[in-house]
Amino acid sequence: MAEPSLVFPAQEFRGRVARLQGEMKTRGLDALFLTTAADIFYVTGFLTRFWESPARPWFLIVPAVGSPVVVIPSIGAALMGRTWIEEIRTWDAPHPEDDGVSLLVDTICSLLPETARIGVPMGLETHVRMPAADYQRVAQGIAPRALVDGTDAVQRVREVKSEAEVEAIRTTCAIAGRAFARVAEFAFAGQPLDQVFRDFQTALLQEGADWVSYVAGGAGPSGYADVISPAAAVPLQRGDVLMLDTGAVRNGYFCDFDRNFSIGPPSDTVRKAHDALWQATEDTLSTLRPGMLARDAHRLLSEALHTHGARPAGGRLGHGLGITLTEWPSFTPLDTTPLREGMVLTLEPGAVVDGDRILVHEENIVLRADGVELLSPRAPSALPELS
Amino acid sequence: MAEPSLVFPAQEFRGRVARLQGEMKTRGLDALFLTTAADIFYVTGFLTRFWESPARPWFLIVPAVGSPVVVIPSIGAALMGRTWIEEIRTWDAPHPEDDGVSLLVDTICSLLPETARIGVPMGLETHVRMPAADYQRVAQGIAPRALVDGTDAVQRVREVKSEAEVEAIRTTCAIAGRAFARVAEFAFAGQPLDQVFRDFQTALLQEGADWVSYVAGGAGPSGYADVISPAAAVPLQRGDVLMLDTGAVRNGYFCDFDRNFSIGPPSDTVRKAHDALWQATEDTLSTLRPGMLARDAHRLLSEALHTHGARPAGGRLGHGLGITLTEWPSFTPLDTTPLREGMVLTLEPGAVVDGDRILVHEENIVLRADGVELLSPRAPSALPELS
């Protein structure tokens, strides 16, 4: 495996760094300090499932001027060496007394003046992926340089996808679309839901997913009580609505959409709720535009659900999507993030069917100057029946 | 899906809380504040792949006396309601102005006196999974109650597995063992490595994995340059050594072991390196005992590799295992964590074969009073050949 491990040409990553540096200048930041798999993949192209091990922290400094520098465990040096990053500093992790802290402090102090303000993603939908005690040691070690809120500088760049990113997400959506088209092969009355989940993951892999980071769903006679549970060994029954939702991954980019199926003919109640979800999505696909706010997407979907006779479920009705299963913004009544051309988003209306039972419906889109372009193959207007 | 979602009976979780409370008393802590998927699953049994979405933080307070309290997004209420946890407080997340912070602060202040010392895992191999700015707001909001280092209180409990946990890990190891036994079905000369990775994940699902959180590996004529890379579309060739490593998951518990295969007959160099790895593991399986330290395991493996004519690769030579792919301790020369009865561990010796090329070999074990019990089906002593 000696070939470069870049998903994209180096020019793609240089463009990202240039856009981050533009935001830094606007916001008076001298650098960004990044620690998560997503942020580090975004800048470097370093793609590995090794993040699944919580043992080691990984650090990336993106200065406002100049090239990014990574400070990483030596186990990652070979793979990082095949990305476009040239400045790679390593230590032997995990180290019980000094797990990269002094190397990171030295690196920051050598790169940045004492007056430096260093942005760290510390706002909504972020976390710092390193030991909290070491984060404090770094803050003290680099003083008077200051760690300040860099959430906006990162999110305003990452949320607008390049055409290469849109194409990557479209590819993953197509993989999931092909797997959804095969659900009748493995989902039918009498089949336990946990086996359906396994077979769905297999179908996603067979259709080209590199791995399947997320599968959820549910099944029940008037929908499902929640949409995040793992599957139990409960057989599907005639009259159930089965929902499968996936975040499959190809080349580091996610899809995130679901599909519903009726086991045997659906009840009138279920059919009406599904029709309302489909129509509300259809309406919003034709009305959503750049320049609106995230809360406007919530309003459009909620109003369309009411128009079509459904009661909107609680929670957000869509969100960003890309190198994590979900990204900001959130389609809630409170989120005022401007929707911009190039954003990849999910439309995810939910409707209350009966008591605590809901149906959800989801598509993936990219916002274009003149409206919405679908990335997921559009769900059929009529709820599909399985035997 | 109305049935309880507990992997274990409630008694298992009550025992865990009792052991955490014992550690808290020893260490002068009045509560633990936990935020990660692993820590929250450990205490509550709340198992979902929804953690893949970084959008929402989840909070758990385990007081030194009394029952745990969760403060979670309302989307998780239904699933959490099917665990043994009784005190569930929710808010509608993500909320741009107050994403659970005031509810968490109110909860902590109502549960704990102003003198309280609240342990947070903030040491090696931890992170706090919530926005760093909100963590600061919580720290200020609960003052004079103090957030202090609670790493040891959590790790000393979690590292010793109950028999129910050992059985869960044994089950996952058996699943992976059956998948490894099928590698000849899909790995052979001419087959691209990325397709081998997909088929291996499919085999893991078919053999009973709920999902596959980790697959890595490599292939090359004298081993592989690193063990964390995703697969490229490069065909296997006669003379390659193929290594596959997996962290599959069943009921929330991981395995983590690898297997090597020779495509056609191995070279003498490769065969000798593999024999040394197998023998060094065999030696350590018979000598490792509770009462040793983590660094002793590193020494035993290193010395055995030298004895059998191999040069140990850098990095750790094993680690803990359980509800994450890797857990502390680390078999390095520096880790002085005592090895205790009931710890589930990996033995993971690596040998340098040629230049930057290495071979690695891994087994999963549980430490018993009188020695080691294997949880993974033991690798064959001779490197298996594929066609």
What mean pLDDT comes out for the span B135-145? 98
Distance CA B239, CA B237 (A): 6
Interface confidence (ipTM) of the complex: 0.97
B274 within 8 A of B379, measured Cβ to Cβ: no
For chain A, percent of residues with pLDDT exceeding 90: 95
Distance between B256 CA and the closest CA of chain A, angstroms: 10
Unique residue bearing structure tokens 């033995």: B347
CB contact under 8 A, A213 and B49: yes
| Residue A63 Ramachandran class (φ > 0 left, ψ -120 to 50 alpha, else beta) | beta
User: Phi, psi at residue A282, to the nearest 5°?
Assistant: -60, -45
pLDDT for position A1 = 37
| Per-residue confidence (pLDDT) for residue B2, from 0 to 100 | 38
Interface probe, candidates A125, A137, A319, A360, chain B, greatest B C-beta count within 10 A: A125
Query: Quick check: B316 and A94 CB within 8 A?
Result: yes
Helix, strand, or coil (residue A163): helix
Q: pLDDT value at position A226?
A: 85
pLDDT tens, position by position, B314-356: 899 999 999 999 999 999 999 999 999 999 999 999 999 988 8
List CB contacts (< 8 A) between B94 and chain A: 124-125, 316, 328, 330, 332, 335
Instruction: Extract the runs of DSSP E, i.e. beta strands, from chain A.
Output: 31-34, 59-63, 69-73, 87-91, 117-120, 146-149, 211-220, 241-250, 253-254, 257-263, 311-312, 318-320, 327-330, 344-347, 350-354, 357-360, 363-368, 371-374, 385-386
Crossing angle between the packed helical segments B10-27 and B37-44, to the nearest 10 degrees: 120
Chains A, B: CB contacts within 8 A come to: 248
**Each residue's pLDDT tens digit, B261-320:** 999 999 999 999 999 999 999 999 999 999 999 999 999 999 999 999 999 998 999 999
* CA distance, residue A21 to nearest chain B CA (Å): 22
Q: Which tops the pLDDT comparison, A227 or B203?
A: B203
In angstroms, what CA-CA distances link B313 with A206, A287, B7, B61, B304? Answer: 35, 59, 38, 42, 13
- Asked if B334 and A97 come within 8 Å (Cβ–Cβ), the reply is yes
Q: How confident is the model at residue B6 (pLDDT cuts 50, 70, 90)?
A: low
pLDDT score recorded for residue A4: 44
Question: What is the pLDDT at residue A229?
Answer: 87
User: Å from B315 to nearest chain A CA?
Assistant: 7
- B131 preceded by cis ω (within 30°)? no
For chain A, what is the mean pLDDT?
Answer: 96
Please report which helix (H) or strand (E) contains residue B246, including its range: strand B241-250
**Full set of structural domains in chain A with CATH:** 10-158 (3.40.350.10), 163-386 (3.90.230.10)
Residues of B in contact with A195 (CB under 8 A): none
For residue B205, give the chain A residue with the closest CA.
A198
Contact (CB<8Å) B75/A315: yes
pLDDT above 70 coverage of chain B, percent = 98
Q: How far is B274 from chain A (nearest CA, A)?
A: 20
Q: Distance between CA A28 and CA A149 in Å, rounded? A: 11
Give the residue from A44, A75, A127 with the most B CB atoms within 10 Å of its CB, the best one to mutate.
Answer: A127
* A-chain residues near B211 (CB < 8 A): 201, 212, 215
- Taking CB atoms and an 8 Å limit, are B210 and A230 in contact across chains? yes
pLDDT of B116 > 60? The answer is yes
Q: Which residues on chain A are in Cβ contact (under 8 Å) with B127? A: 54, 57, 127-132
Residue of B48, B125, B315 with shortest CB distance to A230: B48
Q: Tokens representing A305?
A: 């659900």
Contact B54 A215 (CB under 8 A): no
| Average pLDDT value for residue range A208-224 | 96
pLDDT in tens, A93-143: 999 999 999 999 999 999 999 999 999 999 999 999 999 999 999 999 999
In A98-162, which residue ranges form alpha helices assigned H by DSSP? Answer: 101-111, 132-142, 151-158
Q: What is the pLDDT of residue B5?
A: 52
Contacts of A128 in chain B (CB under 8 A): 127-128, 132
Would you state the pLDDT for residue A2?
38
Of B212, B315, B319, the CB nearest to A211: B212
> Is pLDDT above 90 for A5?
no
Nearest-neighbour CA in chain A from B173: distance (Å): 17
Residue B289 CB contacts under 8 Å (≥ 6 apart), including other chains: B339, B367, B370, B371
Q: Do B230 and A210 lie within an 8 Å CB cutoff?
A: yes
pLDDT digits (tens, 9 = 90+) for B32-74: 999 999 999 999 999 999 999 999 999 999 999 999 999 999 9
> Do B49 and A130 make contact, defined as CB atoms within 8 angstroms?
no
